[in-house]
Amino acid sequence: MNKYLVIGNPIAHSLSPVLHNYWFKKHSFLDSIYEKKEVEKKDLKKIVEQIKNDEIKGVNVTVPFKREIFDFIDSAPHEVQFTKSVNTLVKENNKVVGYNTDQEGFKISLEENDWNFKNKKVFIIGAGGVTPSILSSFIRLGGAEKIYLSNRTRSKAEELKKIWDKALGIYQMKKDTIEILDWEEKSELCDLIINTTSVGLKKDEKLNFDFSDYNNKKEALFYDLIYNPKETNFLKDARKRGNKTMNGKMMFLWQAHLAFKMWTGVSPIIDEEVIKLLD
63 sits near ligand ATR (criterion: CB under 6 A): yes
> What does the alpha-carbon distance between residue 96 and residue 116 come to, in Å, rounded to a whole number?
33
Residue 32 vs 88, nearer CB to ligand ATR: 88
Out of 129, 145, 228, 261, the only residue in the binding site for ligand ATR (CB under 6 A) is: 129
Pick from 81, 116, 119, 153 the residue near ligand ATR by CB under 6 A: 153
Of 82 and 209, which CB lies nearer to ligand ATR in the complex structure? Answer: 209
For residue 245, the cross-strand partners are 222
Q: Which one among 88, 197, 247, 264 touches ligand ATR, defined by CB under 6 A?
A: 197
Among 10, 49, 64, 170, binds ligand ATR (CB under 6 A): 64
Minimum CB–partner distance for residue 201 and ligand ATR (Å): 9
- Identify which range of 4-12, 13-21, 41-49, 123-131 contacts ligand ATR by CB under 6 A: 123-131
Catalytic member of 36, 66, 91, 120 = 66
DSSP class of 154? H
**Which residue of 126, 142, 200, 248 would you call a contact of ligand ATR, by CB under 6 A?**
126
**Catalytic-residue membership of 186:** no
Q: Is the dihedral of CA 191, 196, 200, 206 positive or negative?
A: negative
By beta-carbon proximity to ligand ATR, the closer residue of 204 and 271 is 204
Window contacting ligand ATR (CB under 6 A); options: 9-17, 85-93, 122-130, 269-277: 122-130
Q: What is residue 223's three-state secondary structure?
A: strand
Which lies closer to ligand ATR via its Cβ, residue 177 or residue 197? 197
Give long-range contacts, CB 8 A cutoff, 24+ apart: 48-56.
Answer: 48/72, 48/73, 48/89, 48/96, 51/89, 51/91, 51/96, 52/91, 52/94, 52/96, 54/91, 55/3, 56/3, 56/4, 56/5
Residue type, 167: A
Taking the least distance from each CB to ligand ATR, the nearer of 154 and 244 is 154
Beta strand 2-8 with 32-38 is: parallel
Residue 143 in contact with ligand ATR, rule: CB under 6 A: no
**If you write DSSP's letter for every residue of 82-97 in order, what string do you get?**
HH----EEEEETTEEE
Q: What is the CA radius of gyration of the chain?
A: 19
Distance (Å, whole) CA 25 – CA 137: 32
Kindly provide the residue ranges of all beta strands, DSSP E only, lying in 120-279, ordered along the sequence.
Answer: 121-125, 146-150, 178-180, 192-195, 221-224, 244-246
Contact letters (x/-) for ligand ATR, 199-238, by CB under 6 A?
x---------------------------------------
Active site residues: 66
